[in-house]
Structure 1
Amino acid sequence: MIRVKICGITSKEDAWVAAESGADALGFIFVPNTPRYVGDRSDLEDLLESVPPFVTRVGVCRNLSDAARLRGVPLDAIQLYEPPHVEERALLSVVLQGRGLILACRMRSVEDALGIESRLEGLTISGVLLDAYDEKRLGGGGVVFDWNLACLAKSRVSVPVVLAGGLTPENVEAAIRQVRPWGVDVSSGVEMAPGKKDPQKIRQFVANAHRVALCEASG
């Protein structure tokens, strides 16, 4: 079964809609000065604790320094867009506190796909997330990248691969069929506005992702 992560959650209502729709994970953005940032909220712990059991809470950060500020925050995994520097890796276990590590790798060329192994070298990670490259933002921009690059990158790693970047209810089935990832990740593709999810789009995205996986399994 394909796993689904709904990213950029900013409210209890959106968290519950995603969970009830069958999402396996919810992403919470801890990158300052972005439209879905939740790190400065006074009700942050209440928001995270409202997530139902068996749904993974993922804290999305730019780098390990930002993740270090999340010690004690009730999260199940940390997603980094910048791999830890060699000198930081001794602190990695302290920062993670037993939480899983997902490394996001942005794809814009064959070189990015071929070089993915070097980015993961020396790291113990739960999975890798393949996202589109955007000069102005780390993610959540609704940009689709060449899925052939995702296939190439996937062939070079031995950890679960999550596909992101411009996915929508309309294209997620084609993406799964071509890339055959372990999971898919969506943010802007299921929104009314940045940080405000569309319940119908969430339900349709999860249903479409699960349907194509079930069809292939039964076929």
Structure 2
Amino acid sequence: MIRIKICGITNKEDAWVAAEAGADALGFIFVPNTPRYIGDRSDLEDLLENLPPFVTRVGVCRNLSDASRLRGVPLDAIQLYEPPRMEERALLSVVLQGRGLILACRMRSVEDALEIGSRLEGLAISGVLFDAYDEKRLGGGGVVFDWNLACLAKSRVSVPVILAGGLTPENVEAAIRQVGPWGVDVSSGVEVAPGKKDPQKVRQFVVNARRADICKASG
């Protein structure tokens, strides 16, 4: 069954809307100076701990150095946009503290897709997320990339693939049918403004993703 992550959650109301709609995971942004950053929230632990059971909490960071500040924060997985450098890999277990690792890879060319295996080599990761390349931001920009690149990259990895990059309630069905990912990730595609989700869009995204998954399984 397709897994659905609603990313860029900034408040308890949106977290519960997403969870009750059927989202499997929620993403919380720990990249400073971005519109969905929550790292300086005084009520951070309350937001993260008071969620329904079985909802995976994912902390999104730029790199391992940023993730190292999240020790003790109640998260189930860490998503990095920059792979750990060789000299940092010995620190992975200390930083992760038993949490899963998702590596985000931004796609803009065939070369990016072909090199995906070498980028993951030697890393024990729970999954890889394919996102659009945007020189101004790491994610959440609403940019769709060529899904043919996602298909090519997917064929070169052996870990679960999560598709992101400009997904919306309108295009998620086509994305799932073409790429066949393990999971999908959406942020700006279900918002009324950066950091504020549209409940109806969240619900429709989940419905459409589930429908595409059922059609794919039965077809």
**TM-score past 0.5 threshold:** yes
Q: In structure 1, what is the equivalent of residue 166 of structure 2?
A: 166
Q: Which residues of 2 match residues 74-153 of structure 1 at below 5 A?
A: 74-153=74-153
Q: Aligned to 2:173, what secondary structure does the other structure show?
A: helix
Q: In structure 1, what is the equivalent of residue 216 of structure 2?
A: 216
Q: In structure 1, what is the equivalent of residue 15 of structure 2?
A: 15
For residues 63-90 of structure 1, give each alpha carbon's deviation from its aligned partner in whole angstroms, at most 9, with x where no partner exists: 0000000000000000000000000000
Q: In structure 1, what is the equivalent of residue 55 of structure 2?
A: 55
For residues 124-177 of structure 1, give each alpha carbon's deviation from its aligned partner in whole angstroms, at most 9, with x where no partner exists: 000000000000000000000000000000000000000000000000000000
Q: Structure 1 residue 218: deviation in Å?
A: 2.7
Q: Structure 1 residue 19: deviation in Å?
A: 0.4
Q: In structure 1, what is the equivalent of residue 179 of structure 2?
A: 179
Q: In structure 2, what is the equivalent of residue 197 of structure 1?
A: 197
Letter in 1 for 2:146: D
TM-score, normalised to structure 2's length? 0.99
Q: Aligned to 1:83, what secondary structure does the other structure show?
A: coil
Q: Structure 1 residue 60: deviation in Å?
A: 0.1
Letter in 1 for 2:123: L
Letter in 1 for 2:19: A
In structure 2, the gaps of 5 or more residues are none
In structure 1, the gaps of 5 or more residues are none
What RMSD over aligned residues (CA atoms) do the two structures have, in Å?
0.5
Q: In structure 2, what is the equivalent of residue 64 of structure 1?
A: 64
Between the aligned partners of 2:18 and 2:197, the Cα distance in structure 1 is 9
Q: In structure 2, what is the equivalent of residue 154 of structure 1?
A: 154
Between the aligned partners of 1:10 and 1:216, the Cα distance in structure 2 is 33
Between the aligned partners of 1:141 and 1:196, the Cα distance in structure 2 is 14
For residues 174-196 of structure 1, give each alpha carbon's deviation from its aligned partner in whole angstroms, at most 9, with x where no partner exists: 00000000000000000000000
Q: Aligned to 1:103, what secondary structure does the other structure show?
A: strand
Between the aligned partners of 1:125 and 1:199, the Cα distance in structure 2 is 32
Between the aligned partners of 2:183 and 2:89, the Cα distance in structure 1 is 26
The alignment-based identity, stated in percent, is 89
Q: In structure 2, what is the equivalent of residue 42 of structure 1?
A: 42
Q: Structure 1 residue 216: deviation in Å?
A: 2.1
How many residues align? The count is 219
Q: In structure 2, what is the equivalent of residue 32 of structure 1?
A: 32
For residues 33-80 of structure 1, give each alpha carbon's deviation from its aligned partner in whole angstroms, at most 9, with x where no partner exists: 000000000000000012211000000000000000000000000000
Between the aligned partners of 2:126 and 2:216, the Cα distance in structure 1 is 25
TM-score, normalised to structure 1's length? 0.99
Between the aligned partners of 2:100 and 2:26, the Cα distance in structure 1 is 14
Between the aligned partners of 1:65 and 1:51, the Cα distance in structure 2 is 27
